[in-house]
Structure formats: C-alpha cells, structure tokens
Structure 1
Amino acid sequence: MSSFRTIEISSDVPDGLKFLTVKSAHLKGRGDITLFEPQGDFSEPLPLVILLHGVYGSHWAWAFSGNAHKTAANMINSGEIEPMVLVMPSDGLWGDGSSYTSHNERDFEKWIVEDVVKAACEASPLVNEQSPKFISGLSMGGYGALRLGLRHPQIFTAISAHSAITCFSEMALFIEEDLNSLHKSWDESEELDIISEFSKEGKIHPHLRFDCGLSDQLIEGNRLFHKQLNELKVAHTYEEFGGAHEWDYWQNHLPGTLKFFNQFCKIKGK
C-alpha cells in the first residue's frame, strides 16, 4: 500500500532515469522527483543518495544541468564507487526557493526527509528503509543538505555540500521574497545558522564534508563555517577549488561527494 494518496511513476527512460510525481500532505499538493537506478542485478538494497538543487531550479536540475546520473553511472561502471541510487527531488517550488524549511503552511523539510525517501523506496526495488542514506546539495541545496542532515542523524549517514549557503541570511543574495516569509522566527540578531546544530551537547553528527569555489560569492561564509567547526572540534573535511557559483564547478566536484559517500555504504546490520 502506498504512503501517498497518489503516486505516478514513469516508464523507464534512457540512462536509468525515472520521473515521479507524488501528492504530498507536507506540500499540500504534488511534488516531482527524478530518480536514477544503476543497471545490474543486486542481491542487497543499494545506498540512497539525495541531491538537492539550488534556487530557481527543480527536480531535473542535477540530471540535466549537472549530468549527475551519467557521472554516477560512469563511476559505478569503472569501479570507483559501489552501485547507488540517486534521488533528485524538487524543493517544493515555493518562490525562488523554499530553503527546505517549514513555512507558509507547508513543510519542505519533511517533504525531503520523509516523503522523498518513501517515494524512492516505492518507485525503486533497489532501495528500502535499510539502505544507507546520504544527502548532498548545491547552494541553497547545500544549506538544505547541511541543515537536514544535522537535524536527522538517525536517517543520514553522511553529508556533503557544494558552494553551500551556510547562514540563513545568505538566502537574501538570491531570492526576491522577504526572508521572514521563509522563516517566521528568523531574526538577524539570533544565532540560527547551521553551526548551532553542532552546539547541542551529546548530539551525534553524520560524517561531513563541504567545498566551495575560490571565485564563489559564498566563499567567506564557508570559511567561517569551517573555522567554527574547528573551534568546536567537530571532525569534517573542507576543501577549496578554483571555480565560481556555476554548474561547471558542481559537475566537476560531484565525484568527490560520491567517493566520500562510498566510504560509508555498508548496509546497517550487515
């Protein structure tokens, strides 16, 4: 029995892709997802990687602007990484970007951490609830990956972010909507940055890496986040590379994310 009132799943299309449309109670409407399945016969459930897009985009962005599915397929076929399923959801399509938070009577956070995972398990026989789960994203999607991964360590084994917004106020660099419309309790004087998630005593954190381009307008925020993590003695990997806030950069550095996740692909309980 489906977890959704309605779920539409496309026939297989080239390059191992499927397209899903589900009616989500958290979105109060329908949401779209692009899914990539590697070819082959597998006796165990595969790892599930969620890729979150940035502002202005949608579920197709990582596949058709970033070639994520082709990158994954090439790396799997060459033996660089174990087979894994990619799930690339829409952010919920609110304004220029939902920020993957809860606002305007919609829960864009639960859409990702609950609905997208359930939809992937229903649409693909290659994954199930026992699959190791990873989350990554770019720009606003990097913010979503960091925030959701840290808030749900029971779900996600590891997090990787590219060119991430690391402070909620940086959303203003990209969207025309008032920040208060995305986060009712947001206030510039309050510490609502992602770093606050690390300050909770005794909290277990997923494995973490992030990177940013040297010509990216978000580089200083990423450097500050790296500095704050070091001060808190939080284990993580931070890297800087040549490049700007653009698809060439994200496409070139997605392999680093997939290799990072590949280290932690063991099925729970195995």
Structure 2
Amino acid sequence: MALIQCGFFAQTLGLSMSMNVVIPERSYGIGVEAGGAQTGDKFPVLYLLHGLSDDHSIWLRRTSVERYAAEYGIAVVMPAVHRSFYTNMKSGHDYWTFVSEELPHVAQSLFPISGKREDSFAAGLSMGGYGAMKLGLRAPEKFAAVASLSGAMDILAFDHEGSPLADKEYKWIFGSKEEAAGSDDDLFALAERAAAGGVSLPRLYQCCGTEDFLYDQNIRFRDHVRSLGIALDYEEGPGDHSWGYWDAHIQRVLAWLPLRGGKV
C-alpha cells in the first residue's frame, strides 16, 4: 500500500484541507506484488470518517487500517472535516456539500479510484459514524454500503446523553433543536423519508459497544430503522467508546463490504 498525505483547496469551504489516502500498489514488472481488486484501472474506495475531536490522521495513528485494507485491495480516503458533524452548518461552512460532492470528485481526480456506486463505500466512528450513515441515507445513489461504528445517531439527544457539544457549538452546527428535528441532518427523519419514498438504499451496517455512552442512541436508531422495514446489519457486544473497539470492528466492516473482487 502507498500512503499519500494530501493538502488541497476545497472550493465549497474556501479552505485549505487535508486528507490521508492509502491505496494499493500495482506491479510494474520489477518484482513488486500486484495490489488487489480493481475495476479496470480503478480501485474500490472506502471513505473513512473521523470523530468529533479527531482529524484525517487518526485512523492511521490508532488502528492498523492500512494493513487491513491491503488484504482487500481497497483504497481508503480519510478526510479532515473538523467539528462539523458533516453538516452544512447554520453558522459556518458547507461540510456536507464538501464530503458528499467535492471530496469524491477531488479524490477521483487525483488517485486511481473508482467513482462507480458499486465500488464506493463509507464508514466512520462516533461523529463519523453519523456522517457515514447520513451519506447512505441522503446520497444513496453514490454508495453501495455504509457503516457506523459507535455512531452519534440522534442529534436531538445531545442535550442529555453525554453531549459532546456545548450549547453554542450545537447552534452553530444545527441551529435550534426545533430546526434540527425533521431536517436533513436528522437520521431518524432521513430514514423515514427513504422508506416512504421507496429509495434504493445502500447496505447499512451499525455496531456499538454495550458500555458505550452512545449505546442507547444506537439501540433507538436500530429499532426505528427496522420498524420502517429498512434492512440493517447490526452488531453489539462488550466495548466502550475506544480505539480497541474500533480497531477490531473496522476489520469486521471491511469483511462485510460487498467488494466485487472479494478478498485479495
């Protein structure tokens, strides 16, 4: 695998941004092993999202995701989005537009990764789990599968369930609770609209540790989605909001992804 540490200008944000990318290497006939599943000359890609207090470097620093991805011949794109909740902020920048539209375009223009739905996946932890599930529910035509690990699934519960956001920061991102409820940032409402509209959703995966402070949110979201008739692969077991849990479960996510080439 090659590691690319990339800085670029995001037009939707008006900011210089960063992403780390790990990508399989191919054989050029000089003794290097060929690198994994490909579609023509393009690799499948996992957009891997960070949590609230993290950045684009964290998955590589705290897990062995590069080594795990090498087994599947899949590229992994890890962007920085600050404390945005992957949202077009009420008082800030358009991070939803950035991650759902500009980021894939930039990544595909710079690296040999596929832009086809069947080769595109998203996953993330905590705030990033929320972001990945939002990509699946709001941009289902772009992703074949999305996965949430210990996701912050209920943005309306942040005032009483170990909220990671101060009140003023919540308002900068989502506005008031009344504005957030039923909006395109409310995963519960997005699931309802997808079910009512007969939308063809990507495969959905959700996991959470039973000792995680976000466990109750995850149970509510699981039950809500299943009550709507939406298929959801769900796993739980011992674990808290920690990197040991996420290192183990990103391996499960990679094994679960519907990669057309299978494992290398």
TM-score of Structure 1 vs Structure 2, range by shorter chain: 0.7 to 0.9
2:12 matched to which residue of 1? 26
Distance 1:189 1:140 in 2: 16
* SS of match in other structure, 2:43: coil
Q: Where in structure 2 are the equivalents of 1:209-220 lying within 5 Å?
A: 209-220=205-216
The offset of 1:150, in angstroms, is: 0.9
Q: Which runs of 5+ in 1 are unaligned?
A: 1-14
1:190 equivalent in alignment to 2:181: yes
Deviation track 1:225-264 (CA, whole Å, cap 9, x = no partner) reads 1111221111111110211101111001101111111x24
How many pairs are equivalent?
A: 239
2:237 matched to which residue of 1? 241
Answer yes or no: is the 8 Å Cα contact 1:100–1:109 preserved in 2.
yes
TM-score (norm 2): 0.84
* SS of match in other structure, 2:96: helix
The offset of 1:214, in angstroms, is: 1.1
Distance 1:151 1:265 in 2: 24
Deviation track 1:138-159 (CA, whole Å, cap 9, x = no partner) reads 0000001111221001111111
Distance 2:157 2:18 in 1: 26
* SS of match in other structure, 1:58: coil
Answer yes or no: is the 8 Å Cα contact 1:140–1:171 preserved in 2.
no
Pair 1:234–1:257, CA change in 2 (3 A):
same
Distance 2:125 2:158 in 1: 13
TM-score (norm 1): 0.82
Pair 1:170–1:140, CA change in 2 (3 A):
farther
Distance 2:204 2:111 in 1: 27
- More deviation in 39-48 or 212-221? 39-48
* SS of match in other structure, 1:59: coil
Q: Identity over aligned residues, as a percent?
A: 27
1:145 matched to which residue of 2? 132
Distance 2:116 2:199 in 1: 22
Deviation track 1:191-243 (CA, whole Å, cap 9, x = no partner) reads 45312112222222111011000110011111111111221111111110211
Answer yes or no: is the 8 Å Cα contact 2:116–2:142 preserved in 1.
no
Distance 1:85 1:137 in 2: 15
The offset of 1:99, in angstroms, is: 0.4
Answer yes or no: is the 8 Å Cα contact 1:169–1:179 preserved in 2.
no
CA-based RMSD: 1.9
2:30 matched to which residue of 1? none
* SS of match in other structure, 1:178: helix
1:256 to 241, 252, 256: 252
The offset of 1:65, in angstroms, is: 1.6
Q: Which runs of 5+ in 2 are unaligned?
A: 28-37
